[in-house]
Amino acid sequence: MTDFQTFPPAPVAVQLSCGALELTPVRLGDLPRLLAVVRPFADVISAEPDWLALLGAHGDGVLELLAITTRKDRAWVNDLSLDDAVQLAAAVFEVNADFFVQRVVPGITRSADKLAPLIQRLGTTPSPA
């Protein structure tokens, strides 16, 4: 199956206590904000994330991630019940799994690998004053 087999992507409906919500994969315009939000916890995103642990450790980032990916405002996300938030996070991840697991995590890992030697050098070598 190619990335463009379904274009535009068909929305995936998730049923929450406040009603149904249709989700689509992230769009190009979402990326700058989304990558900035995900970067602090990208290393713990896996094929089956523990959403309660992520909410506990990176709550603000996860809530912002939900706002971006649902295209809802943060106040709407803040008002979700915990059950709905976890269900919605799982649905968002399912709709965007290819993006998160195959693109975001490896990309951040590659960047960290490239920066590690520079960071070590900067930490051990005096800077010119």
For residue 6, what pLDDT is reported?
A: 46
Return the half-sphere exposure (C-beta side, CA atoms, 13 A cut-off) of residue 9: 15
Rounded mean pLDDT of 25-43? 88
Reported as a single tens digit per residue, the pLDDT across 35-59 is 899 888 887 777 677 878 888 899 9
Residue with tokens 């070590």: 120
Return the half-sphere exposure (C-beta side, CA atoms, 13 A cut-off) of residue 101: 11
Q: Which of 85, 75, 63, 96 is nearest to 16 (CA)?
A: 85
Alpha-carbon dihedral sign for residues 56, 59, 61, 62 = positive
For residue 101, what pLDDT is reported?
A: 63
For residue 19, what pLDDT is reported?
A: 93
Q: pTM for this one?
A: 0.68
For residue 63, what pLDDT is reported?
A: 93
For residue 74, what pLDDT is reported?
A: 97
Tell me which of 95 and 60 has the higher pLDDT.
Answer: 60
The rounded distance, in Å, linking the Cα atoms of 37 and 85 is 17
Rounded mean pLDDT of 89-113? 69
